[in-house]
Amino acid sequence: MKTAMDAKPGTVLDIDWDLYFVNKWEFHRAWRWATTVKMRLKNISNWWSTDRVFSWEDKLNDVILERTTFEFLYNSSWMYVFMNWETYEQIELNEDDIWDMKYYLTEWNTIDIQQYEWKFVWIILPTYVKLKISEVDLTSSWTDMKDAVTTTWLQLSIPQDIEIWDEVVVNTSTGEFMEKVK
């Protein structure tokens, strides 16, 4: 149990049997009224945000998520299969679970999967991944950048000197090209 005063950004809370990630936390002290804490919460199951106001002493159930390292094995028919090489446990996630993170998954990528009571909550990607270029736009030769598509269907802008099948490093939080793999 945590008080609303202790539930800082990054905390996961169980409120009314739903898990919420604390995105933003603001402390408000009014002159005559009680001290309050305003939080922007993101529902982990549907990723909708909501703002809630709590008294500073309200008790909230904090949740400790289990974080385990898995490797991405393959995807088939909108299912993505991951395996923990220590326990040989496999997790199958559908495309709705992983959202746009699918663009950064290549075979044998190591990722962390967060779970709560053996249920999938979230994937934590590495900051940078290596991806191969599968298509380039040859019509944009008048600029220093051109559009490209990776083998995972991520669309990005790359420098003109990069060709098909070259490997590039991509930032997973922004989706931007970082450098060509040498």
The domain locations on the chain are: 2-62, 66-124, 128-180
- Under 8 Å between Cβ of 36 and 55: yes
To which H or E segment does residue 3 belong?
A: strand 2-3
The CATH superfamily label for domain 128-180 reads Nucleic acid-binding proteins (2.40.50.140)
Q: What is the pLDDT of residues 67-78, one digit of tens each?
A: 999 999 999 988
Q: What is the pLDDT of residues 126-141, one digit of tens each?
A: 999 999 999 999 886 6
Domain 2-62 sits in CATH at 2.30.30.30
| Both structure tokens of 32 | 């005559």
State the pLDDT at residue 119: 81
Q: What is the pLDDT of residues 77-94, one digit of tens each?
A: 889 999 999 999 999 999
66-124: which CATH architecture?
Answer: Beta Barrel (2.40)
- Under 8 Å between Cβ of 130 and 169: yes
Q: What is the rounded CA–CA span in Å between residue 21 and residue 12?
A: 5
Please indicate whether the domains covering 2-62 and 66-124 agree at the CATH topology level. Answer: no
